[in-house]
Amino acid sequence: MKRWRAILGNTGAVATLAVLLAAPFFLYGWFQNGVAALHLRIDPQYSGGEVARVIQRDGYQVVVRKPVPRRSPLQRVDPFVQMTWTPAARLPAQVSDEIDLDGDGRPDLLVSFDTAHLKLDVTPRTPGYRPVHTAGVVSFSELIARVNDGIVVRVPLR
């Protein structure tokens, strides 16, 4: 009797371990669908906001995103607009583009940067944007950085 109890106990333990090891493979799809049903999104402060338009240039494109506003007074990130020049490998050594952010047909910013050293100069053409003269990351709302196959520029709003 003791022998049968030991065999049944060990068999139950092995079966429990097998189920625990195999469960993630069978439940992964269900778990993934459950998380997708929650409609979670990455905060625009980190993603840069939704894409507003894509401007085609000779050999590259500029992805312009919608402005990211400050949502609360406790928030430490100033409002900004993000643009991405992609692919970085096809950019000229010195980029100088006039960018229409609001889609009214008039350029809002003159963005110039050196692709090797990432030195950025932004000259506003319309009110509502702050000038930027920097290299690298000054703040979360004022930066230039190489991200994957693009160069990301964030310009703070007034």
pLDDT in tens, 6-53: 899 999 999 999 988 988 888 888 888 888 899 888 888 888 999 999
- pLDDT band at residue 2 under the 50/70/90 scheme: confident
Q: How far is CA 155 from the centre of its chain?
A: 15
Residues 73 and 129 reside in one and the same domain: yes
pLDDT at 34: 86
Residues 71 and 30 reside in one and the same domain: no
- Least-confidence region, from 3-12, 81-90, 107-116: 3-12
Residues 123 and 105 reside in one and the same domain: yes
Residues 152 and 86 reside in one and the same domain: yes
Residues 32 and 80 reside in one and the same domain: no
Q: Tokens for 88? A: 């970085």
- Least-confidence region, from 15-19, 66-70, 74-78: 74-78
Q: Tokens for 108? A: 């809002």
Residues 35 and 112 reside in one and the same domain: no
- Least-confidence region, from 1-5, 61-65, 89-93, 94-98: 1-5
**Residue 136 belongs to what domain range?**
46-156
Mean pLDDT of the chain: 91
Residues 116 and 60 reside in one and the same domain: yes
The count of structural domains within the chain is 2
Residues 132 and 149 reside in one and the same domain: yes
Closest CA to 98 of 67, 116, 125: 125
Residues 33 and 98 reside in one and the same domain: no
Residues 34 and 51 reside in one and the same domain: no
Q: What is the pLDDT of residues 129-146, one digit of tens each?
A: 999 998 888 888 999 999
Residues 145 and 95 reside in one and the same domain: yes
Closest CA to 80 of 96, 69, 71, 91: 69
Residues 72 and 8 reside in one and the same domain: no
- Least-confidence region, from 39-43, 97-101, 114-118: 39-43
